[in-house]
Amino acid sequence: MITAIVGITFVVSYFIPHFPFNRMDAWFADWFSIIQACAIVLGALNLLKLSAQKVIGKKKDWGYALVIILSFALITIVGLSEGSDYRDPGTGFDWLYVNMFIPLSATMFSILAFFVASASYRAFRARNFEATLLLIAAFFVMIGRVPVGDVITGFMPEGWRLSDLANWIMDYPQTAGQRAIMIGIGLGVVSTSLRVILGIERAHIGSGE
Amino acid sequence: MEAAFEHFRLWLAAFLTLGIFSFLYKDNPWYKLSEAIFVGISAGYWFVVLFWDNFFGKFWVGAGDYTMQWLASVFTGGESPSAEGVDLMLWIGAILGFLMLLRLIPKIGWLSRWPLAFIVGATAGLWLINYIASNVMVQVQATMVPLFSTVFGAGFDAGSGVIIGGLVIFLGTFSGLVYFFFSKAHTGAFGTTARVGVFFLMITFGASFGYTVMSRMSLLIGRIDYLLGDWLGMIK
């Protein structure tokens, strides 16, 4: 019932952006944000509970669980104590963000380059025509995105170098495939959303027990 | 003092960066320490951001603060606060948020289904419209275009590159969609079109893969640049 009312309101407010639907749309959007804030409390409490259980029970690697609790406490206390201007340059929160959060997240994502490269080395085999197409497209996009690609094809006229080929692959065949996928996803999301709004799909609220 | 603090800042970021990189050798205590800090800092970061932006910015500014001041004025007999810009309907959002937290108490945890139903309904309603508009209509519109500009003037382009590009996009999108149509057996002309769609999808996956690897590489270069430049001063 709640799901249906909220879902239908959002749909109707798109087509009739006038009172009362526009007002309800704004309220629902605000409530959504407030619930989000409470949901992160739930997530944080869960993380702290699991970490505290590890520390109290002196389980394996409990020291790292303690580090999780301490680092969470550090940034939370600093962030909450600084008021709503917590993100301004020069604040303690900004310092922790720039000197801890950014280096850690950037490095964490950058090491994926090694894992992706090693996984692709093991998995990529030109077994058939489709796999060869994938391999060739990946190769040309990668080599076309680095200066050496244009150095190798420097003798070719402008517009025919490896960087141009990489751009062409990204702009045309890649865009075409991406569009087919996006339209497919779009139609899938629309049908799933309709099922949810109409109450056909209700797994999210449990079995009703 | 300021210089020492600056050194500490550089060393801390370098310590954490190298700690994460050390996993490339093997799992080790330095990596685990950096990972634990990352988990704690990330969770805390989002906690603070959502608290100030969503809870404080929406609820407290819009209704919570006014309600507290009004209650104080009722109990102390003081002047009622101004209700300008106040929206007491935000309390419903706060109550739903509170109900979400009841998941922690198993006996009345079922009450958390109400905010969950709200979230799912809102997401379904928003996505239904957004996806049909941006993922379906806009993409179809962008695909069904003339092979070359029909308007003479500054933007006129009837070069072979534009025509071939337009054909490739139309053919790729159409055949890709045919491949995703599973209600009909992929045989005959339909099957051939679906197979062409697979070719386009493979090129898409390969290109996306290459693009992802290169974006990760640029992050890696950024970190190496930090270590060799900012930290060690080897790159000026």
Tell me the pLDDT of chain B averaged across its residues: 90
Indicate if the pLDDT at residue A207 is higher than 60.
no
Token output for B69: 């001041």
Find out whether A120 and B209 touch, Cβ atoms under 8 Å.
Answer: yes
Chains A and B form CB pairs within 8 A to the count of 394
ipTM, two decimals, is 0.84
Average pLDDT over residues B10-26: 94
Question: How far apart are alpha carbons B160 and B166 in whole angstroms?
Answer: 10
**Which of A30-51 are b and which e, b meaning 16 or more Cβ less than 10 Å from the residue's Cβ?**
bbbbbbbbbbbbbebeebbeeb
Average pLDDT over residues B204-231: 91
Per-residue pLDDT reduced to its tens digit, B48-94: 999 999 999 999 998 898 999 999 988 888 888 888 888 899 999 99
Question: How far apart are alpha carbons B231 and B162 in whole angstroms?
Answer: 48
pLDDT at B163 (0 to 100): 85
- B-contacting residues in A 15-54 (Cβ below 8 Å): 27-45, 47
Indicate if the pLDDT at residue B236 is higher than 80.
no
Indicate if the pLDDT at residue A208 is higher than 70.
no
Average pLDDT over residues A142-170: 90
Question: How far apart are alpha carbons A179 and B116 in whole angstroms?
Answer: 32
Q: How far is CA B143 from CA B127, B152, B161, in A?
A: 22, 21, 16
Indicate if the pLDDT at residue B151 is higher than 80.
no
- A-contacting residues in B 55-114 (Cβ below 8 Å): 55-59, 62, 87, 89-90, 92-94, 96-98, 100-101, 103-104, 113-114
Find out whether A47 and B43 touch, Cβ atoms under 8 Å.
Answer: yes
- Torsion, Cα A63 A66 A72 A75, to 10 degrees, reads -80
How many other β-carbons are positioned within 10 Å of the β-carbon of residue B148?
Answer: 13
Q: Degrees (nearest 5) of the Cα angle B112, B115, B117? A: 100
Per-residue pLDDT reduced to its tens digit, B221-230: 999 999 999 9
Q: Chain A interface, mutation test: which of B11, B52, B179, most A Cβ atoms within 10 Å?
A: B52
Question: How far apart are alpha carbons A135 and A141 in whole angstroms?
Answer: 10
CB spacing of B47 vs A40 below 8 angstroms: yes
pLDDT at B15 (0 to 100): 95
What are the boundaries of each domain within chain B?
145-236
Point out the least confidently predicted range of B84-93, B109-118, B149-158.
B149-158
State percent of chain B over pLDDT 70: 96
Point out the least confidently predicted range of A62-71, A110-119, B15-24, B172-181.
A110-119
